[in-house]
Structure 1
Amino acid sequence: MTDRALLSQQFLEAAAWGKAQRRFLAGDASDRSYDRLTKGGETAVLMDAPPGKGDDPADFLAIAAHLSALGLSAPRCLAKDLTNGFLLLEDLGDGVFARLLEADPSLENSLYSAATEVLAQLQRHAPAENLPNLSAADWAEAACFALEWYRFAITGDRIDSAAFKAALTEVITIHADGPRVMILRDFHAENLIYLPQRQGLERVGLLDFQLAQLGQPGYDLVSLLQDARRDVSRETEADMMRRFIALTGETEIGFRPKYATLGAQRALRILGIFARLCLQGGKPGYLPLIPRVWSQLQCNLQAPELSKLATICEKLLPAPTPEALHHIGLQCASFR
């Protein structure tokens, strides 16, 4: 038994869940993982978030408390060991949006409508305290991952990213640098649980929100509708944009450039992250997702307001052809 496994078992013993059956539930791009525990007729979820890896369980608890106070469904904490990075959480079940939609695509509009209403509720209220607040230049810097990892993985060269960063900083400053709201960052179908036994906004269970920060109103909507892991129909994307605009008081003419800007920034960052997860993290499973993210980037860059950025991206970023993706895969785990 590893030291981590021993620590988790000791935590569960202290929480009276030591004899529960334990089954791996999920992991993600971070070092965090989840196990489902079964004890008699009860279930719970063990979150294992190793200290010093960027995901602080204390942040999870603080954000969960804020969301619950707004009438939203974050998992209740049943036991905690913040020193070693363990939480025992309420099990919200298996109604993950992504799985439900895979089984029945006709649910897309109703599920995404519920999720969009949750975003509007979150943004009607003041954000949680002490959240990070990045500048336009910080957001642009994060998108430079597209050059530092994605381009590098294909071409093998390092280039000066100053012009790229300046162009993105400019477009973010003009179109997406207004009043901040609380954003959850990874608000998408893998992190949303349908809870039909609950009422209203509580029907949407929320996960993976510990890295919440201040950001633009459209960011989480982009995360939801331009999902790196699944295709969202154009009709649903358009419907949810209209719904969000109506719920938040935005105007369509003002919101669309913001949405495209945030979508471009997010897609650029994700291209870099997925390439880095392969090259540095030894996780090639993210490579098949890159063409979808590339397509989302191209769609966002069609906005007239992003023409300068589009020209720079066309010049600097190679397309993810099958040959390019194969080349990235050959370098998997070469840069640990």
Structure 2
Amino acid sequence: MNVDAFLKSAGWEGAMREPLAGDASSRRYIRLCYGEKRAILMVDPQDDTARFERIANHLRSIGLSAPAVLKRDKGLMLLEDFGDAQFARVIAQTPETEVPLYLAATDVLVHLENLPAPDGLTTASPEVLGQMIEPAFTHYLPLLGRSAGREADRITSLLTDHLDKHLPKTSVLVLRDFHAENMIWLPERSGVERVGLLDFQDALAGPPIYDLVSMLQDARRDVSDAAHNAVLAHYLGGTGRSESEFMPAFHLIGLQRNLRILGIFARLATEMGKPGYLNLIPRVWRHIETSLASPVSKEIAPLVHRLFPEPTPSRLKEGTN
């Protein structure tokens, strides 16, 4: 991955480079400035660039805003720059925009629900979703000095059975990391194109509720009750789903996602030198508690509470010493 040669071949030799905040992966992002022109350089050691380009092209083909790929090579990609109006940043500066921004993002999900997922994606079946919580047992529990034993299989099996019973049987494109740090506000565009989408290379074909849970049970920021309630009402109205059908699936996906995230954040802290992710774990745990309090979780809740210790500051500190 010769960055200088890549930029020269793309006509961006000599551009000013401004490193941007990265994500939980090994990817790096650099803003390039060359006169009035702007672009984003993605440096991706794992080289998911072909996958990113394929999904980006699909998103644009169905009327959504994904960055145009200006040039791609092994582990390197030059992308359209959507600017700095990240949802999380805009809301922090002007809190009154939270509800309208989240409703605009909800319109994206309603739009996706009406369309089939592209071919070639892994299908997030109940079995696959159940297996995806493994990092909670292999990384979060050891962080806090616990081991899973047979309880891991019991929780996984019970969660899988509940997902199979309650999830919608249709599959849509699931972007997976659909939250306020991965959406850019593009007010000069119209309709669903006002929401710029990022970080979708790990997309799946899966339950349409998944990305809504990802947005509302955000590991990085607290979504206000006003936004939460407005989004749920807007989504139910836009999709025609009933609340009684929707909420059990919502809480089961919430439990599945957040158990997995516990393990992923623990791994990032202990194995990848990113201890800042430990600070996010208490919020993730609160999301888990919310889902466990739902009637649909009454069989799973005692097992999770018995096996998983609450991530208190003292426990998290001891786990990294």
Task: Give the TM-score taking structure 2 as reference length.
Answer: 0.97
Q: Structure 1 counterpart of 2:261, which letter?
A: I
Give the aligned partner of residue 183 of structure 1: 174
Taking the aligned partners of 2:38 and 2:203, their CA distance within structure 1 comes to 27
Q: 1:197 aligned to 2:188?
A: yes
Taking the aligned partners of 1:244 and 1:158, their CA distance within structure 2 comes to 37
Give the aligned partner of residue 287 of structure 2: 296
Give the aligned partner of residue 317 of structure 1: 308
Q: Structure 2 counterpart of 1:90, which letter?
A: E
Q: 1:16 aligned to 2:11?
A: yes
Give the aligned partner of residue 334 of structure 1: none
Q: Structure 2 counterpart of 1:304, which letter?
A: P
Q: Structure 2 counterpart of 1:17, which letter?
A: W
Q: Percent identity?
A: 44
Selected match of 1:62 from 37, 54, 67: 54
Deviates more, 1:233-242 or 1:15-24: 233-242
Q: Is the 8 A contact 2:269 2:278 kept in 1?
A: yes
Q: Structure 2 counterpart of 1:273, which letter?
A: I
Q: 1:138 aligned to 2:138?
A: no
Taking the aligned partners of 2:12 and 2:146, their CA distance within structure 1 comes to 50
Q: CA deviation at 1:157?
A: 3.2
Q: Structure 2 counterpart of 1:217, which letter?
A: P
Selected match of 2:95 from 105, 108, 131: 105
Residues 177 and 110 from structure 1, CA distance in 2 versus in 1: closer, same or farther, beyond 3 angstroms?
Answer: closer
Q: Structure 2 counterpart of 1:228, which letter?
A: A
Q: 1:79 aligned to 2:71?
A: yes
Report SS of the residue matched to 1:292. Answer: helix
Taking the aligned partners of 1:137 and 1:200, their CA distance within structure 2 comes to 36
Deviates more, 1:311-320 or 1:171-180: 171-180
Taking the aligned partners of 1:158 and 1:113, their CA distance within structure 2 comes to 40
Q: Is the 8 A contact 2:143 2:320 kept in 1?
A: no
Taking the aligned partners of 1:41 and 1:76, their CA distance within structure 2 comes to 18
Structure 2 stretches lacking a partner, 5+ long:
none
Q: 1:31 aligned to 2:39?
A: no
Q: CA deviation at 1:158?
A: 4.7
Q: CA deviation at 1:134?
A: 2.9
Give the aligned partner of residue 117 of structure 1: 107
Q: Is the 8 A contact 2:130 2:159 kept in 1?
A: yes
Taking the aligned partners of 2:72 and 2:282, their CA distance within structure 1 comes to 40
Give the aligned partner of residue 248 of structure 2: 257
Report SS of the residue matched to 2:299. Answer: helix
Taking the aligned partners of 1:38 and 1:156, their CA distance within structure 2 comes to 49
Q: Structure 2 counterpart of 1:154, which letter?
A: L
Q: How many residues end up aligned between the 2 structures? A: 320
Q: 1:89 aligned to 2:76?
A: no
Q: Structure 2 counterpart of 1:35, which letter?
A: I
Report SS of the residue matched to 2:132. Answer: helix
